[in-house]
A and B are shown apart, each in its own frame.
Chain A
């Protein structure tokens, strides 16, 4: 018998998650008060309607209806998150898988997700959890203190909120990050960055690092492929920078859709001008999935072309992602160009940094390092 990719993932992912946390049935606890907390950001409107103020979409939602994310519901004029502590998957991953390359390289993160997302990317690799409602997928009850304790037990110095979209489980992220800090565990967020300014600024006070999936550098792409908007994501990146949040950017290059020289160059110039030369930029390889199965995987030379353009604009840390063994997985010193962190895939083979500096030329390497 052969298994296709999806069947394999289904067969393996849940038992893996279940190994960490027992999963409930799909519809169990649909109205369970344990998962339901009042949303932090919304505005009450006449006739029991509400306007969500968490993401830039600003859904106006009738009584008994949900927002675009599917994870928040208006109940008689009060808006609720339905996914607090409602974990659909939990894994222990290297931080390189997020990817964070300049944030405690070689360390592990207890990585969790809830159901739902505030965009609908046609290439989503995790649509079976991101594009469903909470009651449509098996989940576990994992309150913040238990999550932090679990991370400590498994020797994970970080929690990671990832796989789906942490913005839509914002209240849980904040509570879990606080519980984590109380237990000496850091928090890293992997997000599309489609969030309003006020919740973002408050989030930055609770978490330690944010990786943003910058999906393209055109509003057209965001409108047609992502079902979102580019500008709020760019604004979010600038805010993170201003708040001193350690941030990295991933750009998933998709053949014919966002892989032109011009787009790569515009992106690189914007990063240089608005965020500086030290923000890591990962050009990552696309694989066909979900609603974009009619395009081939990204040719490796496309990623190399993107890196060359970003390098030529002067960015210090430009990577090629999803191509295990590629030399552009390594971190090079921007001054002497020697390898300072050597990687193969998600595995860190050698960290040569000394107190965050290149051992050869003493150049400071931007990032959050333990060595």
Chain B
């Protein structure tokens, strides 16, 4: 038996203690808002910032059911907090979290009481951040690669994952807003909310085996990740249905939207279905047929992880 993966006494106790409120949470549906605007792309390579901001506002209002986007943002963050924006920049300018989306979020965060220098734009490497357009001091924020902030000395362990966590996550940020990109992944199937947290650990290269299962789910279980990530906004202005995570323009299409959720599993499941639909339209094989179905999404939803739901009956998909 795999001693790390099996149900240890500690895991059993955790699961029992967590069960009452989690069970309650599962009775309610997980909302995933898909906000789209067909005119969001100003041209092939640029976004209309004003329309993107409006789309973001509509998404937040819909997600929180409130009259203004600022009201929604005030439910995400508290004035004075240091807020990390976990972008995904591996693909460089081509298909990383868009600068215009981060600008829009920064604007609203400031209106919600977060000073500019309390906003930390964060990813694995400085070179990746810079290649996506986030240079040091960008718009008065802090841009911080893990290679600058460093990693904790002590391992964080859950299940099959044992990693050193980025100090940006553990020491710098009070809260994190997760900003993945909607795209295919050549090894683990798809990469969105759950997988984006591989940017918080020192050894992501170790966790792509077995289609990332259960590693993606196990990494997300590490307490600082679970406790600090408050909202997921998936950049789907342009999405990629094949050839990821590198940017492959021939397999990228203008989805012209954002996916907003509090439940990373529901978001990933929804995004995965969008990618499968596009692959179907293009006459391509399903990820399952290619032996890279993202099984980690189901693992993240199972009774040991309970990170959210992958049950479509429990996902409230709101398209606006």
Contacts and interface: CB of A to CB of B under 8 A. Distances in A.
Interface of A: 26-27, 30-31, 47-49, 60, 62-70, 120, 122, 131-133, 135-136, 224-225, 227, 257, 290-292, 294-295
Most B CB within 10 A of own CB, among A48, A65, A290: A65
Contacts of A68: 205-206, 208-209
24 contacts: A27-B147, A27-B148, A49-B246, A60-B186, A60-B187, A62-B245, A62-B246, A63-B246, A66-B205, A67-B205, A68-B206, A68-B208, A68-B209, A70-B206, A120-B206, A122-B4, A132-B203, A136-B151, A225-B2, A227-B206, A291-B155, A291-B157, A291-B162, A295-B3
B186 A62 contact: yes
Interface of B: 2-5, 8, 90, 92, 127-128, 147-148, 150-151, 155, 157, 162, 164, 186-187, 202-203, 205-206, 208-209, 243-246, 248
Nearest to A136: B202
Contact of B3 (A30, A132, A136, A292): A292
A291 B243 CA distance: 34
Chain B contact residues, majority secondary structure:
loop
Given A26-B150, A30-B147, A294-B8, A132 B202 contact: yes
Contacts of A70: 203, 205-206
B205 A47 contact: no
A294 B3 contact: yes
Nearest to B203: A131
Given A60-B187, A70-B203, A291-B4, 7 more contacts: A27-B147, A30-B147, A64-B92, A64-B128, A68-B205, A122-B3, A132-B203
Contacts of A65: 90, 245-246
A64 B90 contact: yes
B262 to A, nearest CB: 30
Most B CB within 10 A of own CB, among A26, A67, A120: A120
A27 B164 CA distance: 16
Contacts of B92: 64
Nearest to A224: B2
A249 B102 CA distance: 55
Most B CB within 10 A of own CB, among A64, A136, A290, A294: A64
Contacts of B147: 27, 30, 135
A48 B91 CA distance: 13
A224 B4 CA distance: 9
A251 to B, nearest CB: 19
Contacts of B162: 122, 290-291
A47 B243 contact: yes
A320 B119 CA distance: 57
Given A68-B208, A122-B4, A47 B203 contact: no
Contacts of A133: 202-203, 205
A67 to B, nearest CB: 7
Contact of A47 (B4, B127, B248): B248
Contacts of A48: 246
Nearest to B147: A27
